[in-house]
């Protein structure tokens, strides 16, 4: 099982949207996917049409009062399972911060889960902050995928998250974590700004930047309010085409030959 954290300390960059739709697209290609919602706002949970109740979140596993496997629920999509979130997860920030091993708790839980060989990929949707849950996800992940909006402020955020990843490596919490990729989101090909930001990122991170860009799209923004993936909400739109391209590129990077896409 490959653990991929979708991370950016800035909000509104398409992080949860990417977590949902990449997970769904991988599942449609026959990959067994576990999506873990680590954001107390539970947007990935509601975006998949699940009602966040707090009882099935990672709260109790992280404080050592239940196993992670007890919290896994099936989604309505074949091959896609979910550990939901809820507001109780906000309390774990305080509880874990008091413990010396707080950075390693999620890592240890996921290491045990790897041994079961139940999933091919585990996608971690992280909160938009640099708190305990975000840093725990970075310490637990094999790889980091950074969604980055096509704005100049996004470049400042990119520098910060890359610095945090380097700190996680240097502290020994996760010395082997890789920056798997940078996905440009909210791209508007009509503006020079979007093109310039993509070019700037490509200059500094030529091997990490995804060739596929996710366009600015009303449909992408609408889908979570209906509890749907973009493939269900607008199957023939630009958003669906983009996230299908992201999934294909992701699997190519991981040398996975996927079967034909199943309907989602």
**Residue 205 has what pLDDT?**
95
pTM tops 0.75, yes or no: yes
CA distance 148 to 10: 9
Token output for 73: 């629920």
**Residue 21 has what pLDDT?**
98
Token match 């669906």: residue?
240
Query: Confidence class of residue 32 from pLDDT cuts 50, 70 and 90?
Result: very high
Report percent pLDDT > 70 for the chain. 96
pLDDT above 80 for 53? no
**Is 57 within 8 Å of 88 (Cβ atoms)?**
yes
Q: In what order do the strands lie in the sheet with 121-125?
A: 73-74, 80-83, 33-37, 121-125, 2-6, 143-149, 178-185
Q: What is the mean pLDDT of the chain?
A: 91
CA distance 110 to 48: 22
CA distance 104 to 193: 40
Beta-carbon neighbour count of residue 143 at 10 Å?
17
Looking at CATH, the fold of the domain delimited by 2-253 is given as: Rossmann fold (3.40.50)
Token output for 43: 């947007």
Token output for 176: 């082997």
Domain-by-domain residue ranges, the chain?
Answer: 2-253
**57 class by beta-carbon count within 10 Å (0-12 exposed, 13-18 middle, 19+ buried):** buried
pLDDT above 60 for 204? yes
Q: What is the pLDDT of residues 137-189, one digit of tens each?
A: 999 999 999 999 998 888 888 989 999 999 999 989 999 999 999 999 999 98
Q: What is the pLDDT of residues 108-145, one digit of tens each?
A: 999 988 888 899 999 999 999 888 899 999 999 999 99
């Amino acid at each position: 099982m490959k653990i991929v954290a979708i991370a950016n300390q800035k909000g509104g960059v398409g992080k949860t949207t990417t977590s949902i739709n990449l997970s769904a697209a991988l599942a449609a290609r026959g990959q067994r996917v576990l999506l873990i919602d680590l954001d107390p706002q539970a947007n990935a949970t509601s975006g998949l049409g699940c009602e966040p109740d707090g009882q099935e979140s990672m709260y109790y596993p992280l404080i050592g009062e239940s196993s992670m496997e007890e919290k896994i629920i099936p989604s309505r999509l074949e091959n896609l399972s979910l550990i939901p979130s809820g507001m109780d997860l906000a309390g774990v920030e305080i509880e874990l911060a008091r413990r010396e091993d707080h950075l390693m708790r999620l890592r240890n839980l996921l290491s045990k889960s790897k041994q079961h060989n139940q999933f091919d990929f585990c996608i971690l949707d992280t909160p938009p902050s640099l708190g305990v849950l975000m840093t725990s996800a970075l310490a637990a992940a094999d790889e980091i995928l950074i969604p980055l909006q096509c704005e100049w402020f996004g470049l400042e955020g990119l520098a910060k998250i890359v610095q945090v990843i380097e700190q996680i490596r240097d502290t020994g919490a996760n010395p082997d974590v890789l920056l798997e990729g940078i996905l440009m989101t909210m791209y508007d090909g009509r503006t020079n700004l979007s093109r310039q930001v993509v070019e700037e990122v490509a200059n500094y991170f030529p091997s990490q930047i995804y060739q596929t860009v996710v366009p600015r799209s009303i449909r992408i923004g609408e889908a979570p309010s209906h509890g749907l993936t973009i493939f269900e909400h607008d199957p023939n739109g630009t958003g669906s085409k983009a996230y299908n391209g992201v999934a294909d590129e992701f699997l190519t990077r991981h040398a996975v030959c996927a079967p034909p896409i199943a309907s989602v």
